[in-house]
Amino acid sequence: MAFMAVLESDLRALSTEARRRYPGVKDGAEHAILKLRTLSNPSEIGHNEDILRIFLMACEVKTVKISVIGLSCLQKLISHDAVAPSALKEILSTLKDHADMADESIQLKTLQTILIILQSRLLPENEDDMAQALGICLRLLENVRSSDSVRNTAAATFRQAVALIFDHVVGAESLPAGKFSSGSQISRTSSVTGDVNRSINFSESLEQDFLSGGSSLMRENLSKAGKLGLRLLEDLTALAAGGSATWLWVSSLPRTFALDILEFILSNYAVMFRALVSYEQVLRHQICSLLMTSLRTNAEHEGEVGEPYFRRLVLRSVAHIIRLYSSSLTTECEVFLSMLVKVTYLDLPLWHRILVLELLRGFCVEARTLRILFQNFDMNPKNTNIVENMVKALAHVVSSVQVQDTSEESLAAVAGMFSSKAKGVEWSLDNDASNAAVIVASEAHAITLAVEGLLGVVFTVATLTDEAVDVGELESPRCDSDIQANFLGKTAVLCISMVDSLWLTTLDALSFILSRSQGEAIILEILKGYQAFTQACGVLRAVEPLNSFLASLCKFTIYIPNEAEKRSGMHSPGSKRSEPLVDQKDSIVLTPKNVQALRTLFNIAHRLHNVLGPSWVLVLETLAALDLAIHSPHATTQEVSSSVPKLTRDFSGQYSDFHILSSLNSQLFESSALMHISAVKSLLSALSQLSHQSMHGTLSSFGQPSSQKIGSIRFSVERMISILVNNLHRVEPLWDLVVGHFLELAENSDQHLRNLALDALDQSICAVLGSDQFQVAHSRGNDMETTPTELQALECVVISPLRVLYFSTQSIDVRIGSLKILLHVLERHGDKLQYSWLDILEMLRSVSNASEKDLVTLGFQSLRVIMNDGLSTIPVDCLQVCIDVTGAYSAQKTELNISLTAVGLLWTTIDFIAKGPLHENSEEKETEQTDGKKGEEGSLNISSKFNGQSPLNVVDRDKLLFSVFSLLQKLGSDERPEVRNSAVRTLFQILGSHGQKLSKSMWEDCLWNYVFPILDRSSHMAATSSKDEWQGKELGTRGGKAVHMLIHHSRNTAQKQWDETLVLVLGGIARLLRSFFPFLRSLRNFWSGWESLLLFVKNSSLNGSKEVTLAAINCLQTTVLSHSPKGNLPLPYLKSVLDVYEIVLQNSSNYGSNAAGKVRQEILHGLAELYVHAQQMFDSAMYTQLLTVMHLALGQAKISSDNVEAESGHVLQEQRSILEILPQLCPTEQLSSMWILLLRELLRYFPTSHSPSQTEESEINKATSNDLIPENQKMTRPEIPNGIGFVSSNKTEALLPSLSFAEKLVPVLVDLFLQAPLVEKYIMFPEVVQGLRRCMTTRRDKPDGAIWRLAVEGFNRILVDDISRLGMNSGPDSSISRPTRIRIWKEVADVCEIFLVSYCGRALPSNSLSAVELVADESLEMTFLNVLGDKVLKSQIDAPADVIFFLP
Give 135-195 as a DSSP string: HHHHHHHH-TTS-HHHHHHHHHHHHHHHHHHHHHHHHHTT--TTTT---SPPPP-SSHHHH
- What is the distance between the alpha carbons of residues 491 and 481, in angstroms, rounded to a whole number? 22
Instruction: Classify burial at 231, counting beta carbons within 10 Å of its beta carbon; exposed 0-12, middle 13-18, buried 19 or more.
Output: middle
Indicate the pLDDT class of residue 114, thresholds 50, 70 and 90. Answer: confident
Beta carbons within 8 Å of 917's beta carbon, 6+ residues apart: 942, 943, 944, 945, 946, 949, 950, 951, 952
- What is the distance between the alpha carbons of residues 404 and 414, in angstroms, rounded to a whole number? 14
Residue 274 has pLDDT above 50, yes or no: yes
Residues in the chain: 1448
The residue-averaged pLDDT of 1183-1206 equals 69
Give residue 1394's identity as a one-letter amino acid code.
I
The residue-averaged pLDDT of 822-829 equals 91
Nearest to 684 by CA among 723, 742, 626, 715: 723
The answer to which of 300-314, 497-511, 1090-1104, 1123-1137 has the lowest mean pLDDT is 300-314
Cβ-contact 1185, 1138 below 8 angstroms:
yes
Indicate the pLDDT class of residue 930, thresholds 50, 70 and 90. Answer: very low
**What is the model's pLDDT at position 1044?**
60
> Which comes out higher in pLDDT, residue 1409 or 834?
834
938-979 per-position pLDDT tens digit: 333 333 333 445 556 667 788 888 899 999 999 998 888 899
Indicate the pLDDT class of residue 1169, thresholds 50, 70 and 90. Answer: confident
700-735 per-position pLDDT tens digit: 444 445 677 888 899 999 999 999 999 988 888 999
Cβ-contact 907, 986 below 8 angstroms:
yes
Cβ-contact 882, 874 below 8 angstroms:
yes
Residue 1267 has pLDDT above 90, yes or no: no
Cβ-contact 557, 569 below 8 angstroms:
no
**What is the model's pLDDT at position 198?**
56
- What is the distance between the alpha carbons of residues 203 and 4, in angstroms, rounded to a whole number? 48
Residue 337 vs residues 314, 377, 455: alpha-carbon distances, Å: 13, 10, 19
**What is the model's pLDDT at position 783?**
45
Phi, psi of 1038 (to 5 degrees): -145, 120
634-685 per-position pLDDT tens digit: 667 665 333 333 333 344 455 577 788 888 888 888 888 888 888 899 999 9
- What is the distance between the alpha carbons of residues 477 and 1108, in angstroms, rounded to a whole number? 86
Residue 1284 has pLDDT above 50, yes or no: no
> Which comes out higher in pLDDT, residue 1408 or 845?
845
Indicate the pLDDT class of residue 816, thresholds 50, 70 and 90. Answer: very high
How many Cα neighbours within 13 Å face the side chain of 655?
5
Residue 441 has pLDDT above 90, yes or no: no
Cβ-contact 550, 619 below 8 angstroms:
yes
Residues facing 219 on adjacent strands: 276
DSSP code for 637: E
Q: Is the dihedral angle over the CA atoms 709, 714, 720, 723 positive or is it negative?
A: negative
> Alpha carbon 383 to chain centroid distance?
61
Indicate the pLDDT class of residue 1277, thresholds 50, 70 and 90. Answer: very low
How many CB atoms neighbour CB 863 within 10 A? 28
Residue 823 has pLDDT above 90, yes or no: yes
**What is the model's pLDDT at position 695?**
80
> Which comes out higher in pLDDT, residue 699 or 666?
666
The residue-averaged pLDDT of 35-59 equals 74
Residue 326 has pLDDT above 60, yes or no: yes
**What is the model's pLDDT at position 778?**
58
The residue-averaged pLDDT of 349-368 equals 89
The residue-averaged pLDDT of 365-393 equals 91
DSSP code for 434: -
Indicate the pLDDT class of residue 924, thresholds 50, 70 and 90. Answer: very low
826-861 per-position pLDDT tens digit: 999 888 888 889 999 999 999 999 989 999 999 999
The residue-averaged pLDDT of 323-336 equals 88
> Which comes out higher in pLDDT, residue 187 or 751?
751
Indicate the pLDDT class of residue 1199, thresholds 50, 70 and 90. Answer: low
> Alpha carbon 182 to chain centroid distance?
62
Cβ-contact 586, 631 below 8 angstroms:
no
Residue 822 has pLDDT above 50, yes or no: yes
Phi, psi of 1232 (to 5 degrees): -60, -30
489 in helix, strand or coil? coil
Residue 1287 has pLDDT above 80, yes or no: no
The residue-averaged pLDDT of 1306-1329 equals 85
Indicate the pLDDT class of residue 569, thresholds 50, 70 and 90. Answer: very low
Nearest to 1105 by CA among 1142, 1169, 1155, 1065: 1155
Helices and strands in the chain: count of H runs, count of E runs: 66, 4
Largest CA distance in the chain: 219
Angle at 1268 between CA 1267 and CA 1272, to 5 degrees: 85
Nearest to 521 by CA among 552, 407, 354, 513: 513
Indicate the pLDDT class of residue 427, thresholds 50, 70 and 90. Answer: low
Strand 588-590 vs strand 635-637: parallel, antiparallel, or unpaired?
A: parallel
Nearest to 510 by CA among 677, 394, 361: 394
Give residue 1187's identity as a one-letter amino acid code.
L
Indicate the pLDDT class of residue 428, thresholds 50, 70 and 90. Answer: low
**What is the model's pLDDT at position 1204?**
42
**What is the model's pLDDT at position 214?**
43
The answer to which of 642-656, 837-851, 983-997, 1236-1250 has the lowest mean pLDDT is 642-656
Residue 1184 has pLDDT above 80, yes or no: yes
Residue 760 has pLDDT above 80, yes or no: yes
Beta carbons within 8 Å of 495's beta carbon, 6+ residues apart: 461, 464, 465, 468, 474, 536, 540
Residues facing 590 on adjacent strands: 637
**What is the model's pLDDT at position 948?**
44
Indicate the pLDDT class of residue 482, thresholds 50, 70 and 90. Answer: low
1053 in helix, strand or coil? strand
The residue-averaged pLDDT of 742-771 equals 90
> Which comes out higher in pLDDT, residue 828 or 29?
828
- What is the distance between the alpha carbons of residues 653 and 590, in angstroms, rounded to a whole number? 12
DSSP code for 299: S
How many CB atoms neighbour CB 1263 within 10 A? 9
**What is the model's pLDDT at position 861?**
93
Indicate the pLDDT class of residue 1273, thresholds 50, 70 and 90. Answer: very low
Residues facing 1036 on adjacent strands: 1043
795-805 per-position pLDDT tens digit: 888 999 999 98
Instruction: Classify burial at 1174, counting beta carbons within 10 Å of its beta carbon; exposed 0-12, middle 13-18, buried 19 or more.
Output: buried
- What is the distance between the alpha carbons of residues 1042 and 996, in angstroms, rounded to a whole number? 54
The per-residue b/e assignment along 289-302, b for 16 or more CB within 10 angstroms, e otherwise, is ebbeebbeeeeeee
Cβ-contact 972, 987 below 8 angstroms:
yes
**What is the model's pLDDT at position 1013?**
92
616-625 per-position pLDDT tens digit: 888 888 888 8
Mean predicted lDDT score pLDDT of the chain: 78
- Range from 304-313, 1023-1032, 1064-1073 that averages highest in pLDDT: 1064-1073
- What is the distance between the alpha carbons of residues 106 and 99, in angstroms, rounded to a whole number? 7
Instruction: Classify burial at 208, counting beta carbons within 10 Å of its beta carbon; exposed 0-12, middle 13-18, buried 19 or more.
Output: exposed
The per-residue b/e assignment along 1409-1431, b for 16 or more CB within 10 angstroms, e otherwise, is eeeeeeeebeeeeeebeebbeeb
Phi, psi of 379 (to 5 degrees): -90, -5
**What is the model's pLDDT at position 561?**
57
Nearest to 749 by CA among 684, 696, 821: 696
Residue 416 has pLDDT above 50, yes or no: yes
Nearest to 1075 by CA among 1167, 994, 1140, 962: 994
Residue 277 has pLDDT above 70, yes or no: yes
**What is the model's pLDDT at position 526?**
92
> Which comes out higher in pLDDT, residue 995 or 1424?
995
**What is the model's pLDDT at position 180?**
47
**What is the model's pLDDT at position 531?**
92
- What is the distance between the alpha carbons of residues 987 and 492, in angstroms, rounded to a whole number? 81
